[in-house]
Amino acid sequence: MICLAVQWFTGEFEFQDLHEIVGVTVLTLVLFRLIGGEFARFSAFIRGPAKIKAYLANLLRWQLPNEIGLNPIGGWSVMAMLAALLVQATLG
């Protein structure tokens, strides 16, 4: 979050050197997340369509399961955020 704020500030006020350094930092953090440890692996939090459908059905009935970690929609939200950060850091 701090890196994104610094990215915006340095881009807005044309501090190009710092902007590039923080951009590489964001890219490095995303890449470390992609190759992370046991609990960072995608198999730990990415669920398929059947799990998402069941979760949404339970959500509509106000019957939320007690799970450790992310719910199925939260896992895909993390994927979307990582993809957006990867695109932003790569394209500048």
**58: which residues sit within 8 A by CB, 6+ positions away?**
64, 65
**Mean pLDDT of all residues in 20-47:** 81
Rounded to two decimals, the pTM is: 0.70
Question: Which one-letter amino acid corresponds to residue 8?
Answer: W
Q: Could you state, in order of their start, the residue ranges of all structural domains in the chain? A: 2-91
Q: For 40-63, how does the pLDDT look when each residue is reduced to its tens digit (9 = 90+)? A: 777 777 889 999 999 999 999 998
Amino acid at 75: G
- Work out the pLDDT band at 17, boundaries 50, 70, 90: very high
User: What's the pLDDT tens digit per position in 62-88?
Assistant: 988 777 778 889 889 988 988 888 888
φ, ψ for residue 4, nearest 5 deg: -65, -40
